[in-house]
Amino acid sequence: MTGPIMIVSLIFLGISMLVSYVLKSRFTKYSRVPLSSGLSGREIAEKMLRENGIYDVKVTSVDGFLSDHYNPANKTVNLSPDVYNGTSVAAAAVAAHECGHAVQHAQAYTPLTLRSKLVPAVQFSSMLVNWVLLIGIIMAYSGNTTVLLIGIILMAVTVLFTLITLPVEFDASNRALAWLQHTNVTNTTEYPQAKDALKWAATTYVVAALAAVVTLIQYIMLFMNMQRRDE
């Protein structure tokens, strides 16, 4: 069973790399399309926050490419330099998406709240899961499947987090696109481009979730096979 697990992991790794490549190429493409409104990512973020009645969230610039994120702990929308200073369709889409998370936080969006509560457990699980699974597989061949079961439980925590992330990301994109269209920050030509950019960003989360679920199922099947063998 460890062979199939490795094969599936490699397949999803390949798919993930392909999606990431397409995402980066789309971002690069739309980064070259100037926004007709002339607003920068920072200005768009601040505008969206204000129009949603949010005044306690700060918009900052952070290093990195596509490193944009919203931090609910200190209430900051963190934008990469290309987005923060950019006046392109890509910058508008990303800035509005991250502000979508800020709106979720302000409105106590349930999946976001649940995901935030899972963060400590996920951090703990992520540190241990690979080692526990490796040791568990070795011990399972000796007839002890307890450690493998613990590893599966740890993996299930990370898989749950990955699944909860899906509605959080899709909802943030929907909020961003609705706002971009409603406020006419993007025109009729730019809006479909912003939508396409966010679609590919969301696809990365879908691939990650599918890979996590399939891998978890395979470890569960391995555990069940080991138990049947010992009966």
Residue 191: band (very low, low, confident or very high) from pLDDT cuts 50, 70, 90: very high
DSSP H helices in the chain: 2-31, 41-51, 81-84, 89-106, 110-140, 146-182, 190-230
104 or 212, greater pLDDT: 104
Could you confirm whether 98 is annotated as catalytic?
Answer: yes
Share of the chain above pLDDT 90, in %: 72
> Which pLDDT belongs to residue 66?
83
Range of the domain at 68: 2-230
Residue 227: band (very low, low, confident or very high) from pLDDT cuts 50, 70, 90: confident
Residue 148 has pLDDT above 60, yes or no: yes
> Which pLDDT belongs to residue 175?
97
Q: What is the mean pLDDT of residues 198-221?
A: 90
Report DSSP letters for 48-114, one per residue: HHHHTT--S-EEEE-SSSS--EEETTTTEEEE-HHHHS--BHHHHHHHHHHHHHHHHHHTT-HHHHH
> Which pLDDT belongs to residue 26?
84
Structure tokens, 99: 């502000």
Domain count, the chain: 1
Residue 67 has pLDDT above 80, yes or no: yes
The whole-model pTM stands at 0.88
> Which pLDDT belongs to residue 51?
97
Type of residue at 227 = Q
Q: Of the residues 43, 46, 98, 169, which is catalytic?
A: 98
> Which pLDDT belongs to residue 142?
86
Q: What is the mean pLDDT of residues 118-132?
A: 95
Structure-token match 């980064």, residue found:
31
Structure-token match 């000796």, residue found:
142
Chain-wide mean pLDDT for the chain? 92
> Which pLDDT belongs to residue 184?
87
Residue 42 has pLDDT above 90, yes or no: yes
